[in-house]
Structure 1
């Protein structure tokens, strides 16, 4: 996923304005549904059963897993102890120490010290830190000194009657041995299980194990490991694992999360990312680079868990690699999904723009990729097949697809290195499909160049990513209609509408009808991201949310599940009438903003198309005509200019003028003073969530674009590689005419666009389920008006008189939470189905109608 802008969490603020931004006559309004239901609009839906559409493969829909939002440790990976091997460090997060999530504890008068060390006594070269306890031998026979772990979120969650497997690696210099007491207790100190009392003997690392059975249910549990006696005790890899993992796998998956993923019946599992794959150093895990953030490299993640490396996750925390490549392959197998690993291409992305020129490093990564294929598919007699067998899986995993790279911003450098991977894989494993990608966005220079190179080089499949506003998804249902049917296929590896409300799911569902209609081009698609821990959110929206004890699907989860479990085998061509459109000019006030940058603005003028001056401000009399939002930057008038001085503040927009303005020229003089980016000049401003802005020097001052914000979600209208110089004054002019916009920088035309796409709220696709013989009529009605629809299945159709109906419907602002699921499937049976019949699709609804064949 692109790291172009931090995403708000966990749910973006209240949506403002209409979903369709005034493009439709019957646009929904924000807030609750209207008290008086509107008069239904009339539609037609005609199915042409005489023609056949594209086949839909069993891998059409899948899931994309990345360790973001603490999706692994503290999430899908079932380990309950945080920082179990004491490897947390400031390189992971500036607030971390080796004792993060641990506190020192003592009972019965015991004294001692606890310190995390990296010395010659370490467990192994990859697990370098361990805890050294110096025990003073004070207190009585039951005196204990040690450490307590807080787990994740509010604590360690346990359930009464369930078993939890404890293990620790330990060594002691005490000749008598060192007695341990392992207790599982509530935050208040109340015991949650009978303690374990192993004795550590010998000054060599040994693994000690035991099982704790919970006497009570708690979400605020703590695990204490404490020792008695005198001397030096060393501890590492302190683990508490639920026995009841998904399918009972040791070192396995948290059951409720895994079950929710499995319930989607995904056709593939893309792993392990994402931005963490291709960012950071590409060097191997070895001295002198122990503490550097490295790109995700699969060989770091296999073998015994105590011998695996840890890494500084791209998303700002430590990742243990307890959930590694073996576990990913096994999980894919367990949920019936095709494994689809992603390996680094040695060109960074996600805001980093570097290409590695070391040929030896490239050769190593190519070799590692070939070894990965052998690990997945090789016989037990091969080197890496034997490693797989040693871990418990002698049978091959059946790898068929592999992606190289993720969202690279340097397409030429990326495709140059991709060629080395493709050549090697195709020579040794021609059965493997190597997937390329088209960068971090749905359009623009990087996207166009990447696709050009994909076609030139004969790539089989291209991975597209985009996160856009609901309007974008409603406007782009036909996106793939014009793609070359004989060119590279599309893997839509990451997409989502920018929020977790039902209105976002409606827009995604409307878009998905277009994906299915173009299943001969789009062969695979996965919403992203998959998981989010409520206490650690780097990105929103997300498909499944969780805390330490509960998990729940978002409204988009319910939408994806409906599509993924009712896909069908082939498209049956169909057409539907369109919604009448009321169009008008771009209207709105003006705005000035910055993003992690200080900038100065002066000589702001707005002139109508016929030459009338609508607004002028040189700030000689202050900034009283501008509206500032509380907490958004620091704006002052300095030297006759309006200056935003806070270089950490993001989206500091101030606004002025009349929201009814249209057909005007906006003139601004803008100067970047300091910071990461350039400046943002807004027009067509309705409010802070609905506007256009010219983002000059955005994305770390690597490119510039016009973005359209609708209800807080953004989409790119036009972009190029313009960067902004610090200290230079720029003359900016934005010309708005109807729905056409032209942009000028220092008197030169920078670009133009026309915003005239229609956000159609009524979309459909029809597929056939070969196993049942049913037609699956899928209809999205993303508006507040009911859609009274005449359905025509074609003359001579043998139609059963009843049909099965599944509907998602509700308030477009509804959000599924841990406590409430306002959006969930409603199932029923409708009668009176015939060759032609009328059905009214509810407002704000996603409907799946399964129509069977008449048997007599």
Structure 2
């Protein structure tokens, strides 16, 4: 498996005399926590201030926003009413109706007919006389704060005059003085203002009428939004994002962008609810914007649309980086449009988007931007085409058409391609080959991996081709929000900065998570109705993003030897949303001794079932029959086994995927498995699980046939693993790359002249370290910012164990010794002398 390309290595500092580091005895992929071997405390860091290192762009670190985990409606978008336009549908979620989050007292029904508000806002509420409707908001209810102002609005229509009474209350009573509105005639917008008399997070908004009335777009908005913007953003969330000082904002997704229907429509009656994300649906007056089924299982209102994304980017001083669909799906879907007219329309839409962002007010789309309140351009310089496509050849054929059209009209725009959903494998390799051959400017890489993977891959970009495409690391995170996850990401980020000539942009993902609506975890910022808090990962990202520097100062640190201890563990069988039968399991040692033999002619007493699913002996086979269960692991053998051969016969009965044959099984969260026919039966891979999080070590396209019996063999020798399918070698790998718990990078701040020494110590012992500044003239006192916590520490709404601590250090010299605390990240700002 190739993860790197031929090229020049990043600049390396010359070694200088310093403390001799004690030999590191890290025996396996180490994550912060109890050491697997003897703790190591002595290191050396050498810096070469005379060498000209890599320039770091101001846009190096940014944020990626996707409407996942209810990040938009009920989150960053400040609207307090859920389903304000009665557009919820079973197309969004099987449990939805147009009255989801609403309760009618008296008579009322939702209607979709010619009396609607407009072509895109189709469904409205027909409320009978002396009736009312109450909205329950998001999460626990509508949140208001004592003394704060809230703006109510509704579009209403009556045949005869009617009066609306609008009230805010919770179970303890009124939250504000009720308002009375007189409605006359056809559709019109009516407004009122509330001042909360007390605080509550369980409020309800009620609209009552004394006469029959049609209602739509029922809204309650806090006056106090971020920067005071109308139709704006929830202040505390936007402020936390702004505090990161992001260099760019990537939006609106993610899987959100390139999934859903790719069908076109020519008139309102052909409206397609599950369309891919299309920017033109999201601009203009909010009552005229579409709603759409969200890929993550709910409805998206598009109240937070492209205009608001551009405005927010400008408000936080970040470069906007929109992503448009390339008409090839990803995220587990594998389809590509063959509708040439539709493709051309999307390409034109992309050109129109650039005009909307940058065009003069005299242009069609620049004029639309101006009429929305922003006559000046938004200064768009980068645009992404596509996201995580699993069909690289089909994607690239379409990408080239987008790029050609954009370059012909807007040659200064950087068009960003991508490399699929993983850090390696056949899709990744094919995509990168196409990107290199076609001289793509920038490639968007995505990966989510274990903490140990991030500790092992600090050097990932060291050997990328310096003359090839640049990298936009648009999505990355380790599996978890504990401090040990943030530490591993920090160690990896030192490698990103060292390779800032290759990695031009990087963003942790996802950005936001509503604690009551979680589709994906981990996430950077968590929130509920009334509070928000930064994860340990947020605090780490903030520390790096606020102390980037302008140029790398080459440096080196003591490294870790290769791992030599053999892979050890028992064996296992599993399935994922699939029914399968296993037979004739045989495990033999390297010298031919039988360690385990089971033909399932008796019982299954040799096997321990610790996962989900339903296992039983059927016709001399061990069968798992639950096609809905994920990870149904059963295991057998001794966790101390090493250097063995595992053979098994497997037959898929039904379901979405294939087989999971495990080896090196230590416990339910730590093992390797060969995933045959994974990812909806499109790919086979070997994955390593560490503390429950998985990363791929080798992968290839592949499917498993239903009803066919496969002979599977896994040969483990030391840390070398070879895999055979039906007697043919399928692949092999050697898992001997060490985790690097001690990593560093040094940068210089051009404005102040400061050297910023950034050191990660992701192990359970202090690291007493010799620092050699290579003759640099510096002041003796340095500012210190330290993030230090227990490895499993997690920030919550009420507890913040992971928070930066500032101090000073007065022992700085050309050569000095500093002790970096266990499980910590330290930033030393050293002033020039």
TM-score computed with the length of structure 2 as normaliser: 0.96
User: Alignment partner for residue 166 of structure 2, among 173, 182, 187?
Assistant: 182
Asked if the contact 1:23–1:583 (Cα under 8 Å) also holds between the matched residues in 2, the reply is no
Residue 329 of structure 1 aligns to a residue in which SS? Answer: helix
* Residues 538 and 27 (structure 1), Cα distance of their counterparts in 2 relative to 1, 3 Å cut: closer
Match in the other structure for 2:184: 201
- In 2, Cα distance between equivalents of 1:684 and 1:27: 16
Kindly tell me the number of residue pairs found equivalent between the two proteins.
809
The whole-number CA distance in structure 2 between the counterparts of 1:635 and 1:604 is 15
SS at match of 2:401: helix
Equivalent residue for 1:818, pick from 786, 797, 802: 797
| Corresponding position: 1:586 with 2:586 | no
In the TM superposition, residue 189 of structure 1 has moved relative to its aligned partner by 5.3
| Aligned twin of 1:87 | 87
Q: 1:479-527: per-residue Cα shift (whole Å, max 9, x none)? A: 0000010111000000000111111110000000000000000000000
Contact 2:741 2:760 in 1 (8 A): yes
User: Distance in 1 between the 2:496 and 2:305 partners?
Assistant: 32
Encode CA deviations 1:778-833: one digit per residue, 9 max, x unaligned.
000001011100101112x2111110000111110111111111000010001111
- For the residue of structure 2 that corresponds to 1:164, the secondary structure is strand
SS, match of residue 128 in structure 2: strand
Q: Confirm or deny that 1:293 pairs with 2:277.
A: no
CA contact (8 A) 2:28 2:738 kept: no
CA distance in 2, matches of 1:309, 1:255: 25
Post-superposition offset of 1:134:
2.2
Residues 549-608 of structure 1: per-residue CA shift (max 9 Å, x gap): 100000000000000000000000001112456630000001111111111111111000
User: 1:635 matched to which residue of 2?
Assistant: 615
SS of equivalent to 2:115: coil
CA distance, structure 1, for counterparts of residue 721 and residue 38 of structure 2: 35
Cross-structure match for 2:119: 125
Shift in alpha-carbon separation, 1:289–1:842, aligned structure 2, 3 A:
farther
Q: Does the 8 A contact of 1:25 with 1:580 survive in 2?
A: no
Deviation at 1:282? 2.4
Q: Report whether the alignment pairs 1:756 with 2:736.
A: yes
Give the secondary structure class of the aligned counterpart of 1:197. strand
Q: What is the CA-CA distance between 1:773 and the residue it aligns to?
A: 0.8
In 2, Cα distance between equivalents of 1:439 and 1:28 = 27
Aligned twin of 2:355: 374
CA deviation vs aligned residue, 1:153-195 (integer Å, no higher than 9, x gap)? 1001100000000000001122xx1111100001x15100000
What is the rounded CA distance, in whole Å, between the counterparts of 2:661 and 2:169 in structure 1?
56
**CA deviation after TM superposition for structure 1 residue 284, in Å:** 4.0
Which of 113, 117, 128 matches 2:107?
113
Q: Give how far 1:283 is off.
A: 3.1
Specify the SS of the correspondent of 2:156. Answer: strand
Alpha-carbon offset, residue 249 of structure 1: 0.1
Partner of 1:166: 152
| Alignment of 1:727 onto 2:701 | no
Contact 1:464 1:490 in 2 (8 A): yes
1:22-53 deviation line (CA, Å, top 9, x unaligned): 9548956758x99xx99761100010011011
- 2:556 maps to which of 570, 575, 580: 575
Q: Secondary structure at 1:370's aligned position in 2?
A: helix
**Aligned counterparts, 1:762-841, within 5 A:** 762-795=742-775, 797-841=776-820
| Offset of residue 146 of structure 1 | 1.0
**For residues 339 and 134 of structure 1, do their structure 2 counterparts lie closer, same or farther at Cα, with a shift above 3 Å needed?**
same
Match of 2:138 among 142, 152, 159: 152
**Structure 1 position 675 matched with structure 2 position 658:** no
Matches within 5 A, 1:682-701: 682-701=662-681
In structure 2, do the counterparts of structure 1 residues 26 and 613 end up closer, same or farther at CA, with 3 Å as the change threshold?
Answer: closer
Does structure 2 retain, via aligned residues, the 8 Å contact 1:618–1:640? yes
Matched, 1:596 2:582: no
C-alpha distance in 1, partners of 2:584/2:29?
40
Q: CA distance change for structure 1 residues 703 and 27 in 2, over 3 Å: closer, same or farther?
A: closer
Q: 2:229 aligns with which of 236, 249, 259?
A: 249
Alignment of 1:327-366 (within 5 A): 327-366=308-347
Counterpart of 1:853 in structure 2 is 832
Q: CA RMSD in A?
A: 1.6
Q: Distance in 2 between matches of 1:799 and 1:665?
A: 59
Q: Structure 1: which 5+ runs fail to align?
A: 1-20, 106-111, 136-143
Structure 2: distance between partners of 1:25 and 1:740: 14
C-alpha separation in 1, matches of 2:28 and 2:615: 39
Distance 1:580 1:91 in 2: 54
**Contact 1:91 1:291 (8 Å CA) reproduced:** no
| Residue 677 to residue 28, structure 1, CA distance change in 2 (3 Å) | closer
Structure 2 distance, partners of 1:22, 1:714, is 24
Q: 1:26 touches 1:783 (CA, 8 Å); kept in 2?
A: no
Q: Deviations over 1:418-461 (max 9, x none)?
A: 11111111011001000000000010111111111111111100
Q: Secondary structure at the match of 1:167?
A: strand
Kept after mapping to 2: 8 A contact 1:555/1:816: yes
What is the alpha-carbon distance in structure 2 between the residues aligned to residue 705 and residue 86 of structure 1? 44
Return the alpha-carbon distance in structure 2 between the equivalents of residues 195 and 636 of structure 1. 63
Matches within 5 A, 1:544-555: 544-555=525-536
Change in 2 beyond 3 A, CA 1:832/1:22: closer
Alignment TM-score, normalising by the size of structure 1? 0.93
Question: Which residue of structure 1 aligns with residue 823 of structure 2?
Answer: 844
Per-residue CA deviation, residues 716-757 of structure 1 (Å, 9 max, x unaligned), is 111111100001111111000000001111111111111111
- Any gaps of 5 or more consecutive residues in structure 2? 1-23
**CA contact under 8 A between 2:28 and 2:739: conserved in structure 1?**
no
- Distance in 1, matches of 2:350 and 2:181, equals 43
Aligned to 2:514: 533
Residues 168 and 284 of structure 1: is their aligned pair in 2 closer, same or farther, counting only changes over 3 Å?
A: farther
Q: Which secondary structure does the structure 2 equivalent of 1:198 belong to? A: strand
